[in-house]
Amino acid sequence: TDIYLAASKLHLGVVGGYNFLWNLTTRYTGAHQTGFLGFSDDKHWQFEGSAAILLGRHIAVGAEYRTKPDELAFASEEDWQDVFVAWFPNKHVNLTAAWVKLGDVAGQTDQSGLYVSTTFYFQ
Backbone angles phi, psi at 91, to 5 degrees: -75, 0
Please report the pLDDT score of residue 66 as a whole number: 96
Check residue 56 and give its pLDDT: 92
Beta carbons of 104 and 36 less than 8 angstroms apart: no
Q: Report the alpha-carbon angle 21-26-31, nearest 5.
A: 125
Q: What is the pLDDT of residue 54?
A: 97
Per-residue pLDDT of the chain (123 residues; tens, 9 = 90+): 889 999 999 999 999 999 999 999 999 999 888 888 888 888 999 999 999 999 999 999 999 999 988 888 787 888 999 999 999 999 999 999 999 999 888 878 888 999 999 999 998
pLDDT at 37: 85
